Amino acid sequence: MTIKNFIVNNILQVELIEEKTITDMSDMFFRCGSLETLDLSGFDTSAVTDISYMLYDCTCLKTLDLGSMNTANVSDIEGMFAGCEALEVIYCDADWSGNSKAANQYTFTTN
């Protein structure tokens, strides 16, 4: 299952039903320019393989909680935080890692 492009300016809460089947979260919050805080700590991401450009150009995002986000199967994080110019805090577990094979020069770039 693929979850892409929430085309909205104001997201108050995100709740996914049957999230265990989601494999692709790329572009999920692509250009959600009004998004300031996002808590993904409760998501079951054990099957997710692609989180590329997930937060691309979320220019107002200041705080991100990845908490217990499972990235063991993620193979693509290109541009995940690209354009997140206001991002100050990322909360994550010690086990959270952008698979070194998945990360590249565009993962944390700003515009």
For 1-52, what is each residue's pLDDT tens digit? 455 555 455 555 555 555 677 889 899 888 888 888 888 877 788 888 998 9
Contact (Cβ atoms closer than 8 angstroms) between residue 76 and residue 52: yes
Q: Is 39 helix (H, G, I), strand (E, B) or coil?
A: strand
Nearest to 16 by CA among 27, 28, 7: 28
- Name, in order, each residue with C-beta under 8 angstroms of 22's C-beta and a sequence gap of 6 or more: 1, 2, 3, 16, 45, 47, 48
- pLDDT tens digits, one per residue of 52-101: 999 999 999 999 888 778 888 888 888 888 999 999 988 877 766 555 55
For residue 96, the model assigns a pLDDT of 63
Model-level pTM? 0.76
